[in-house]
Amino acid sequence: MAICCRFLDKATQQKMRIVMSEEQKEEFIREVGEDVLPEEYGGRAKLVLLQDVVVNF
């Protein structure tokens, strides 16, 4: 994280989290919510590729 932080604004750095332990992962899921967290990160949300998004005006 220290390497990339040199290139990021302080406000952006404060929003970032690196989850390394199972306990941190569980806490992160509780804070964010399983419904909005993609399945690959332990949640239940289905990830939709940008090219598959249909916008109706």
pLDDT over 70 (residue 37): yes
Question: What is the DSSP code string of 1-57?
Answer: -HHHHTTS-HHHHHH-----SHHHHHHHHHHH-TTTSBGGGTS-BPP--GGG-----
Predicted confidence (pLDDT) per residue in 23-32, tens digit: 998 998 898 8
What's the number of domains the chain is made of? Answer: 1
Mean pLDDT over 44-56 rounds to 87
Residue pair 46/39 in contact by the 8 Å Cβ criterion: yes
| Residue 45 lies inside a defined structural domain of this protein | yes
**What pLDDT is attached to residue 2?**
60
| Residue 57 lies inside a defined structural domain of this protein | no
**What pLDDT is attached to residue 35?**
93
| Residue 22 lies inside a defined structural domain of this protein | yes
Confidence of residue 4 (pLDDT cuts 50, 70, 90): low
Q: What is the mean pLDDT of the chain?
A: 85
Structural domain harbouring 11: 2-52
| Residue 36 lies inside a defined structural domain of this protein | yes
| Residue 7 lies inside a defined structural domain of this protein | yes
